[in-house]
Amino acid sequence: MSEAMVTPVLEPIASTPRTDPLTSWDAPQWQGLRVVVAGLGVTGFSVADTLVELGADVLVVDGNASEENVRRAETLRIVGVRDVVLEKEATTALPRFDAQPPDVVVTSPGWRPDQPLLMQAHAAGLPIWSDIELAWRVRERAGRKVADWICLTGTNGKTTTVSMVEAILRADGRRAIACGNVGTPVLDAVRDPEGFDVLALELSSFQLHWTHHIEPASSAVLNIAEDHVDWHGSMDGYVRDKGSVYENTRIACVFNEAAPITRRLVEQADVQEGCRAVSFSTDTPGLSTVGLVDGILVDRAFTENRAHEAVALAERSDLGAVAPQHTVSNAAAAAALTRAVGVSPTAVRDGLRGYDRGEHRIQLVATSRDVMWINDSKATNPHAADASLAAFSSIVWIAGGLPKGVTYDELVRAHGHRLRAVLLIGADSSALRTALAEHAPDVPVESPLTDPSGRGTEDGHAAMTAAVQRADELAEAGDVVLMAPAAASMDQFRSYADRGDAFIEAVTAVMRQHGWNVDDDGPVSG
């Protein structure tokens, strides 16, 4: 990693005498609190809106004057925000309030620690909070229900697992919502007039970096792999921020039996008295583990006679037609997190049967000539792609994109023997091409719509169409055409969802060219 890419490690400042009393919605010290909100995305808007409702003096800064941000700024000014500044220059200096410094900065997850405004705030001795930190401080409010928090993080599988947690809780009759880094902003959930029994929080490493104190009922790190190293400054910084989710957990710290680093993070955490360490696994479970026996998910952690008995929770088939190993692992984690707060075995089964599987994650798009076409656009890093590649034995792999500073050698070494061919997309997939040449030299590698210099087209949809058409020519009976890019999407697409949609559209077009069926309600078949 070059010097320019290293993010400074700033010792966090959690609070000051001015902010120490801010531990409930009703604390009078919110009135007149001078707050800079850094970022005006969905998170920043919810933060600013909440702070105005609390009576704070709020100034919002964002360097992007997009149409959406202009609309958000107009709304916030109407509800009482002091000002919203949408200028790049405004993000380079800590703003003041009529010559007075701010009391606290609340930052959106996308802002790196080395961003000049945040570095100036830190140098001035100001607390810097995430929206999660703010939500924890205002969760208690007179006349409102106070929800338990179930918190989970990990390099991959977070959204799937938190969706499973939400579905299991609801199947148990609890009012619950998945929020945080997915779906509803946590502050909107905290402000819900009816209140929730449980909040299921997906937390990114960015959010955890600026979160200083929460007390989850149960918590989990699903896995750890190289990702976002440029943001955190080092792999150690990334791991440290992920592991902070375990701090102050009340009932159960849930870790991955197959990832020893997650066990170590539990061992290092300062938890509350009586908190248990509980693992999840896709193998036969030992004591205090949720695992798999003959295709049945079983619990040996939250049952009275766990030394001699296991409670059946669900069957692998409850997870859908395509349930690879990592999906089973996510289900075991979700079961452990929810069993910790007392849900019934039946609720685990019903929740896993009914959870919203979403799109772009091991999504079966088509089956034709005994070839499966799988969309895994959410595989935005090598660790996520590793799980997808491990699920199949003969693969035409569509991969490539924005690599975010990661390496591909280990991924290709592990799965080169599964690859029939590789079709590279992405503006620059040279790192993946180099790894393939070194560790899988016999695998054909092609780059549709790549110019002589090796640069891919900026038109991601055109690149995807070309890759899918070539995959159709290469795939043989028994193969899987797997679009699992192992890279981010922003070089050629608006988002991973846009990339996944491009794959689906291209596959559908190929099926129609062959005169095969297109079912609007499900996968294409031929």
pLDDT tens-digit series, residues 493-503: 989 999 999 99
Alpha carbon of 285 to those of 171, 296, 451, 464: distances in Å?
24, 11, 52, 42
Q: Is the pLDDT reported for residue 16 higher than 80?
A: yes
Q: Are 385 and 399 in contact (CB under 8 A)?
A: yes
Which pLDDT score is estimated for 363?
Answer: 85
Reading the block at residue 247, the tokens are 């701090």
156 is in an annotated binding site: yes
Structure pTM?
0.76
The predicted pLDDT at position 237 comes to 81
Residue-level pLDDT at 438: 96
Write out the two tokens for 409: 């050698």
Backbone angles phi, psi at 289, to 5 degrees: -135, 145
Per-residue pLDDT, 524: 58
pLDDT exceeding 70 applies to what percent of the chain? 93
pLDDT category of residue 1 using cuts at 50, 70 and 90: very low
**Annotated binding residue 157:** yes
pLDDT band at 367 (very low <50, low <70, confident <90, very high): confident
**Is 480 a residue whose pLDDT tops 80?**
yes
CB atoms within 10 A of CB 67: 7
Name the residue with higher pLDDT: 176 or 448. 176
Rounded Cα distance between 107 and 117, Å, is 10
Per-residue confidence (pLDDT) for residue 2, from 0 to 100: 37
Q: Which long-range contacts (CB under 8 A, 24 or more apart) does 95-101 make?
A: 95/36, 95/59, 95/61, 97/34, 97/57, 97/59, 100/34, 101/34, 101/126
Per-residue pLDDT, 355: 87
Three-class SS string for 74-123? HHHHHHCCCEEECCHHHHHCCCCECCECCCEEEECCCCCCCCHHHHHHHH
On whether 159 is known to bind a ligand per the annotation, the reply is yes
pLDDT of residue 406: 83
Can you name the CATH fold of 137-354? Answer: UDP-N-acetylmuramoyl-L-alanine:D-glutamate ligase (3.40.1190)
Answer yes or no: is 155 a known binding residue.
yes
Rg of the chain in Å (alpha carbons) = 24
363-525 topology per CATH:
Protein-Tyrosine Phosphatase; Chain A (3.90.190)
Can you give the pLDDT at residue 321? 64
Q: Provide mean pLDDT across the span 392-402.
A: 94
pLDDT tens per residue, range 38-64 = 999 999 999 999 999 999 999 999 999
Residue 14 has pLDDT above 90, yes or no: yes
pLDDT at 439: 97
Q: What is the mean pLDDT of the chain?
A: 91
Is the predicted pLDDT of residue 451 greater than 60, yes or no? Answer: no
| 3-class DSSP string for 318-335 | HHCCCCCHHHHHHHHHHH
The closest of 471, 355, 455, 469 to 420, measured between CA atoms, is: 471
pLDDT score recorded for residue 520: 43
Q: Which tens digits make up the pLDDT trace of 416-446?
A: 999 999 999 998 888 999 999 999 999 999 9
What mean pLDDT comes out for the span 3-11?
54
pLDDT at 3: 39
In the structure, what pLDDT confidence band is assigned to residue 231 with cuts at 50, 70 and 90? low
Contact 359, 497 (CB under 8 A): yes
State pLDDT tens for residues 174-186. Answer: 999 999 988 899 9
pLDDT tens string 452-477: 555 666 788 999 999 999 999 999 99
Query: How confident is residue 65, by pLDDT bands cut at 50, 70 and 90?
Result: very high
Inform me whether the pLDDT recorded for 450 exceeds 70: no
In this predicted structure, the answer to whether residue 127 has a pLDDT above a threshold of 70 is: yes
Q: What integer pLDDT is reported at residue 79 of this predicted model? A: 96
pLDDT in tens, 280-318: 999 999 999 999 999 999 999 999 888 888 999 999 989
129-149, pLDDT tens digit by residue?
999 999 999 999 999 999 999
Q: Lowest mean pLDDT of 223-227, 265-269, 277-281, name the range.
A: 223-227
The domain limits of the chain are 30-129, 137-354, 363-525
Fold (CATH) for 30-129 = Rossmann fold (3.40.50)
pLDDT confidence bin for 4, thresholds 50/70/90: very low
Q: Is the four-CA dihedral 6, 10, 11, 13 of positive or negative sign?
A: negative
Report pLDDT for 459: 84
Check the annotation: does 154 bind a ligand.
Answer: yes
Give the pLDDT confidence score for residue 226 in this predicted structure. 62
Position with higher pLDDT, 235 vs 28: 28
Question: Is residue 342 annotated as involved in ligand binding?
Answer: no
- Number of helices (H), then strands (E), belonging to the chain: the values are 17, 21
